[in-house]
Every structure is written in structure tokens, then in C-alpha cells.
Structure 1
Amino acid sequence: DLMLCDLSMPIMSGMEFVEEAVVQYPMLPIIVVSGTGAMADVAAALRLGVKDYLVKPLDNFQVLKSAMMTVFKAADIQQGNAGDASTTWPQRNEMVDEELAWHFEELDNDPTAARELLTGLMPDIQSSCGSWQLNYYVLQNADKAPVLLDYTWLMDGRLAFYVIDCSSCPSHGTATALLIRAFFNDYLRQQRVHESHIVELLQEIEKHLKSSRYTSNIKCIFGLFDVVNHQLNLMPAGIGGSVQTSEENHTISGQAWLGQKAFFNQGSRLKIAPSGVRLSLSEIDCANFSITLQRIPTH
């Protein structure tokens, strides 16, 4: 099954419809076909998990057919190899590369649109799950490719996240960031994520970075926060920083970039004070960035 959706609809907006459909039918792939190509709309749709975004009028219906066939092939591969990550990953990589190829070429030729898209993909600056709250702060050069954060609260309450310095990859920063985002979210849907799986995730992403003609080495950092055990696991891949709690400070070295065998980097497993933690990132070219995780005060 596949759903095609416009953004201009009666009663409710297409974006509201997509948001509701994703909740009610999480396994149903959606392609948006809209008359607006505004990067804010594209970013909003991608945040909701749509598989592709096509702009009307479609002068060549082969574009729509190609997008639909890519989604169908990806679904067939996933269904035929359910649960076998070693089999599905290489094939899924090819599907994502094919699905987004023409977008990558357009974004490489339009830095302003690329910057607007990446900025639009940034999540809410504040989010909470249970008794814990996440806030992030970013100050960056408006003329440079931005720092991109993505995070997901998992079903068991843990927080998985990553940060990418898109300006560290001048030639293919946008495409590389979009592919990392796609594989990160796909991995979370397919796997039960443990600390050791962060290394496995880096290995799989690096395999694809090497095989794709749209990507380059890039600076980033991956993390997993366990709210029950108050433990923060960090895997740097070019971005370091400092971890501050009410009790102590730790320094994290950036080490090798993603694409340079970053899965060999030394990760950090840190016990966090019950009150929370602040992660301030360094080795970022054009921005100041920090993430704060803290308990929500009870009254």
C-alpha cells in the first residue's frame, strides 16, 4: 500500500492529515505531491516521516512513477528479510540513495535552499518524556551550513540523538546529513537500541557513505541517554565537547570523523547526577551548541 497526499486540502491541512496518518498507520508509506516547494514545507513533511516530496506540476510523470516504485521495492525488501539487518541494510541503502538522488543534486546546486531545508529539520528546542526534559541551545552563522540535531524518545524512555556539523562537509554536507538522518531513524525502527548498537550503527552508515556518490566524511556525535540508570553513552565522530553535571565535568575528544572508521573511536559511558547534565559541543566550525537534560521539578 502507498498513500499520495497533497498539502492543500479541505477541512484539515495536508500536513495535519499526514501527521494523523503517521500515528494511525505508522507502516504506511506516504509521498507528498504539492504545489508548494517551500523548504519549510519540505522539512515539515520529512520530519513527519514521508518517503518523498514532489512538487507540482509534474511535467514528467515518470518522476512520480519512479518515486512510487522505489517505495514499493524498499517495502518488499524489508518484508522479505524481516529481522535480518545484515541482509536488509545494503539493499535499503541503495533504496534511500535512489529515492533521494535528484533532491541531492538540486540541493548541491542551491546552498540557500539546502540551508533552509536543514534548518527546517531541527526539532523543537524543548521536549520531555516522563520526568525528564531536553533543551538545546544553538547560535550559528546564518551564511554557513547549519548544525543539525535529531533526537528520538524510545518506547522505554531512553533518548537517542545525534548532532551533525554540516559545514564540515562543504561539497556534500546536505546530502550526507539527510542520509545519516534517514538511516538513523530507520535503524531505530528496525532495532532494539543498546549501547553496543551505536558502534554498529556507525559501521553501517560508514559503509553507505563509502558507496554513495553523494556523500563525504563529516563531523558528528551520537548519544544514548538512559533515564532510569542515569547513564549517558556518547560516541564522538569528529565532534567533541564537555559534559557538565552538578558533581563533575568530563571532556570528550572528537577523534576520527564519520567516514574515517569512526566506529574505532573511544566512546564514553558516563554516570549522570540525578539532577541532570549539560553537553556543550566543541570542534564545530561555525556554531555554539549545547544540550541540557534535566529533571522536571515536581511541585
Structure 2
Amino acid sequence: MASSTLLVIDDDTIVRESIVAYLEDSGFNILQAENGEKGLAVYKETPPDLILCDLRMPKMDGLTVLRSVRELSPDTPFIVVSGAGVMADVVEALRLGASDYIIKPIVDLEVLEYAINRALENAQLILENRRYRESLEEAIHSLENNLHLLQEDQKAGRQVQMKMLPQEPLTFQNFKVDHQIIPSLYLSGDFVDYFALNEHSFAFYLADVSGHGASSAFVTVLLKHMSINLLREYQSHGGRVRVKPSHVLNFLNRSLLETGLGKHVAVFGGVVDTRDQKLTYAFGGHYPLPILSTPEETLCIEGRGLPVGLFEDATFEDVTIDLPEQFTLTILSDGILEVLPQQTLQEKEDYLLSVIKEGAVTVSALTDKLGLNTIKAAPDDVAMLILARN
């Protein structure tokens, strides 16, 4: 990984200088020392990203340097260089936490560079995993506190949950996203969110957590936390990485399984890019199918994908479609199927299509047409999210 700072410690001047010259040509920043004592002093003054150290040196050998470094930093990548006749020292170095070893004489310096890059990449993965675990522990701690609050007072908990939802519709150029959630209890297992990614794209999703009440609301807090972390990570890259809904669902799937909460989520998520006027979306066990309505036709958009947080080997697929000049995309949680009066699933789906085709293409209009405001005790949470243009 070019631009990383490396510390090269070797008492053999010729070997050390040849290694330093090669690595500098490869774009690394190099610190160097002629023995273990000086190397350890350089390390303490300017901690490098990786240490490359000879094992056999006068005054202080490489194993002593490694032990000292490990006391100060357990995770700094440390590659040992050893003669072929001292493999016992190599084994001891690996036991002490060395990342890799190189046998002298180093005939091919490209092999050395490959080992360095691999060690740096592994160190970066370890760092990212630690940060993720710390973030997850903080989230779980926060969730435990929130759950205690929810158990004490469901109404207060509902206020907390409502604050996590978008407080107003999103207007992005000539697009608009709006939502409505009608909980079966004070606390809902349904959740929606939408937000700008950069100046030319925005994301949205509707999630339906299995079950409802406090335990499901607990997971919606976790989903909100995860989406915030993903957005921050995306923005930390300057928005250069293209957001793929399938990648987000994969991340959520792994994260929910790791929590061990025993909850899964049906999700539909998408990203609109206004440069090419396209919508990229992915299904995570979501049903009923979202309904796309234009002046010419009203139909269900297709897709497939297993629920999120249920199967370790679940895979998710991105689908990209061109967006019409005028359209609405209506996404509903499966709670809507519980409150419709029709008898069969097909009749319920046909009724939803007809209602939207007849013009119920805003949150208020659809809520009124379906009579959702008059429901006193819904058997399941009902959530809707509507994306529209013009």
C-alpha cells in the first residue's frame, strides 16, 4: 500500500540500503535503523505502519525488538528477515505475533513488496473489524438503554422511535419521497428512511422487522444506527464509491446475524441517480411487490432476495431501471395485506393496483383511500413509502 511508512531495521548496510531504495521507488515512506536499539528508538519517536526487521543483529536482536514492539502495539505489522539456518527463531517470531517472514538472501524484492502489502492489508482489516465491534458494542449498549425506556413507557418509546424517522418529506431536484407508518402498538417493527448521498443521488428503504412491539422496535434502532454508519463511511470516501443496495443488504444481513437477536427483516431499498435518471434497487424478502405507476400503466416491479438476518448464505441482486418523466413508486409493508377486506391474496394485490391506478399516489390520498386512519387495532404494523417525480 503505497504512501505507508515502513521502518527497515538491518545491520547489513548493503542489504538495508538495497531494500530501502527498492521500497522508496515503490512509493513507500521509509525510516531505517542499523540495529535493534536504534530501530526501537525510531519506532517510539515515529511509529510506522509496518516494521521489517532482521532477526540476527548485534546488541539487540530482532526477537527482542519484536517483544518490545508488541508490548507497545499488539497490532503493528512486523515482518522478520531470517537466514535459512535459523528457522527456530522464525517460529518463535511467528509465535510472538510476527505477520510474516522472509528468508535471506532476498533474491526477488517483488516477493518482499507483496508480503508487505499483504501484511498492511491484513492490519487494515483488523483495525476496521475492531472499529466495527466497538461501534456495534456502543450501539447495543445504546439499544439496551432505549429498550429499558421502552419497557417502562411504551408511549415515550414511540416518541423516541418517531424521532428516528424522517421528520419531513425529502425533495431532491424534481423527486419527492414521503412516508407514513401506522403501528399496531405504540411501537412499530416497520421503519423507513431516506437521505441524500451526494449532489446527484439519494437513497431510501422500507424495512419490516419480524414481529412488532418493543423487541422489533429495538431492531429498528439498530437499523438506523447501521444506516448512519454506512452513510458516514460513504461520505468519508468523498462520495466516490457507488452505493449498491445489494451490498448494503449483505452488510445488514451479516450484522443482524452477528447480534444474535433472532430477528430478521424484510427490506426494499433503492438508490436514485439523477445523472442518468435511473433507479437501482434490491429486495430482501420484501412483499408485497412495489407498484410503479405512470400515466400509461400501473404495474408491480420485479425482484427477488431472501429476508435479511435469517440466512448466512443469503445473496441479494441489484436491479436497475430507467425512471419515467412522470411516475410514482409505492412501497408497502405486508401489514397492509392484513387490513384489506378482500379474501384472497390475488384480490388484495389487484385492489392495490386499482387504487393506485385511479390516482391514490400520495401518502395522504392512499391512507384515506385504504381507510388506514380509521383502523383502531391493526393486527400488524403498516408502513408506506412513496417515491414520485412530477
TM range (shorter): 0.5 to 0.7
1:293 positional shift: 1.9
Runs (5+) with no aligned partner, structure 1: 1-79
Residue 279 in 1 paired to residue 330 in 2?
yes
Which deviates the most, 164-173 or 144-153?
Answer: 164-173
User: How many residues matched?
Assistant: 214
* Residues 1:200 and 1:92: Cα distance change in structure 2 (over 3 Å): farther
Residue 246 of structure 2 corresponds to residue 194 of structure 1: no
Match of 1:154, SS state, is strand
Matches within 5 A, 1:42-61: none
Question: 1:253–1:155: structure 2 CA closer, same or farther, 3 Å change rule?
Answer: closer
1:256 is aligned to 2:299: no
Structure 1 residues 158, 264: closer, same or farther in 2, change over 3 A? same
> Do the aligned residues in 2 keep the contact of 1:231 with 1:270 (CA within 8 Å)?
yes
Q: Which residue of 2 aligns with 1:150?
A: 193
Structure 1 pair 162/131, CA: closer, same or farther in 2 (3 Å)? same
Retained in 1: the 8 A contact 2:255–2:309?
Answer: no
Greater RCO (Cα-Cα under 8 Å, separation 6 or more): 1
Closer/same/farther in 2, CA of residues 205 and 91 from structure 1, 3 Å limit: farther
Q: Read off the aligned partner of 2:316 and give its amino acid letter.
A: N
- Distance in 1, matches of 2:231 and 2:322, equals 23
Which residue number in structure 1 is paired with residue 215 of structure 2? 172
CA radius of gyration, larger in: 2
Deviation at 1:98, TM superposition (A): 2.9
Match of 1:223 among 267, 270, 274: 270
Change (3 A) 1:217 1:149: same
How has the CA–CA distance of structure 1 residues 114 and 237 changed in structure 2, closer, same or farther, with 3 Å as cutoff?
farther
- What is the TM-score normalised by the length of structure 2? 0.47
- Do 1:134 and 1:294's aligned partners in 2 also have CA atoms closer than 8 Å? no
Alpha-carbon spacing, 1:254–1:107, altered in 2? closer, same or farther (3 Å):
farther
Which 5+ residue runs of structure 2 have no aligned equivalent?
1-122, 336-379
The structural deviation recorded for 1:181 is 0.6
| Deviation per residue, 1:100-147 (Å, 9 max, x gap) | 332233325544333332233322342212233223345554656263
Other-structure match for 2:30: none
**SS of structure 2 residue aligned to 1:264:** coil
Task: Give, in whole Å, the separation in 2 of the partners of 1:274 and 1:181.
Answer: 31
Cα root mean square deviation, aligned: 3.2
Output the amino acid matched with 2:278. Answer: Q
User: Cα gap change, 1:281/1:224 in structure 2, threshold over 3 Å: closer, same or farther?
Assistant: same
TM-score (norm 1): 0.60
Contact 1:171/1:216 (8 A) holds in 2 = no
1:202 positional shift: 2.2
The aligned amino acid for 1:210 is L
Closer/same/farther in 2, CA of residues 263 and 233 from structure 1, 3 Å limit = farther
The superposition leaves residues 135-177 of structure 1 with CA deviations (integer Å, 9 ceiling, x where unpaired) of: 3345554656263211111222311112122463556211211
Return the match for 2:281 from 234, 239, 243.
Answer: 234
Which residue does 1:293 correspond to in 2?
Answer: 388
How far residue 87 of structure 1 moved from its aligned partner, in angstroms, is 5.8
Structural mapping, 1:96-107, within 5 Å: 96-107=139-150
Structure 2: how far apart are the matches of 1:102 and 1:140? Answer: 22
